[in-house]
């Protein structure tokens, strides 16, 4: 009987620790509405009847891919860990999470000033510099000749990830983790470190989701504050 009581107390303690750990995270999506977010879809400027690019469906946040645009948090975030669970609902394609987002439509009249963490199928974890910049190891190998680097226009804005085999088969759920601390950004896909950079030209901003041609479902979108980057 004593051992049983000890086991019950031990399990209760584990549950308590788990609850405390999970409580540190704050979901940015309530599963029912897009409260706390606002959409920026340029096509709606010309035609108010343009369909929504972002919806809630069966408890999931869904980027429909078209019309093109962004779903942007109302709040600004700094020094945080973002955990996202996503999958391509149909055909694979393009999408991304934008961190340190600020000035809307800063590039091509569409993309807000930000650093994009790519979710495009087979390229998850690439950095795309959108009027913001970041430094990574082996920069010329992963970005191309230095004279072509830039943050706008036709400059070399893409910084390739460290591995292209971290994604799960189509239709399965992927987990992407992004940590932003001071001027550093680190990214994991399904537990694998796929990118890490320093000297980012921004250290805070809104978080945005793209609608960029492919339908993507999100069942988790949560943040918590951090005081350092995780090692693994």
Distance CA 147, CA 56 (A): 44
**pLDDT tens digits, 37-46:** 999 999 999 9
Distance CA 212, CA 120 (A): 9
- For residue 172, which phi and psi values (nearest 5 degrees)? -90, 155
**pLDDT tens digits, 14-37:** 444 444 444 499 999 999 999 999
Sign of the Cα torsion 41, 47, 48, 53 reads: negative
**pLDDT tens digits, 41-98:** 999 999 999 999 999 999 999 999 999 999 999 999 999 999 999 999 888 999 999 9
Distance CA 147, CA 96 (A): 26
Q: CATH 2.60.120.560: does it fit domain 27-225? A: yes
Per-residue pLDDT at 108 exceeds 70: yes
- Compute the C-alpha angle 75/58/19, nearest 5°: 60
Residue of 86, 84, 91, 46 lying closest to 67 (CA atoms): 46
**pLDDT tens digits, 165-215:** 899 999 999 999 999 999 999 999 999 999 999 999 999 999 999 999 999
Q: Where are the domains of the chain?
A: 27-225
Q: Which residues contact 2 (CB under 8 A, 6 or more apart)?
A: none
- Compute the C-alpha angle 157/28/22, nearest 5°: 110
The pTM of the whole model exceeds 0.75: yes
The SS3 of residue 1 is coil
Strand 54-57 and strand 184-189: the pairing is unpaired
Residue of 224, 187, 183, 197 lying closest to 100 (CA atoms): 183
């Amino acid at each position: 009987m004593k051992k049983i009581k000890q086991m019950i107390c031990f399990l209760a303690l584990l549950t308590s620790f788990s609850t405390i750990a999970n409580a540190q995270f704050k979901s940015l999506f309530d599963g029912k509405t897009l409260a706390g977010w606002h959409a920026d879809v340029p096509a709606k400027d010309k035609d108010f009847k343009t369909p929504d690019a972002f919806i809630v469906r069966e408890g999931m946040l869904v980027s429909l891919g078209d019309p093109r645009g962004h779903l942007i948090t109302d709040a600004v975030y700094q020094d945080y860990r973002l955990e996202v669970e996503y999958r391509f609902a149909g055909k694979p394609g393009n999408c991304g999470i934008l961190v340190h987002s600020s000035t809307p439509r800063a590039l091509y009249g569409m993309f807000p000033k930000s650093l994009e963490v790519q979710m495009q199928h087979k390229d998850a974890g690439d950095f795309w510099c959108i009027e913001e910049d970041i430094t990574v190891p082996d920069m010329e190998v992963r970005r191309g000749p230095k004279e072509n680097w830039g943050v706008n226009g036709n400059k070399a804005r893409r910084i390739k990830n460290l591995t292209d085999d971290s994604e799960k088969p189509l239709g399965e759920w992927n987990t992407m983790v992004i940590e932003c601390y001071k001027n550093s950004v680190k990214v994991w896909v399904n537990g694998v470190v796929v990118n890490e950079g320093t000297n980012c030209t921004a250290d805070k901003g809104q978080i945005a989701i793209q609608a960029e041609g492919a339908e993507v479902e999100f069942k988790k979108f949560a943040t918590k504050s951090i005081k350092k980057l995780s090692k693994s």
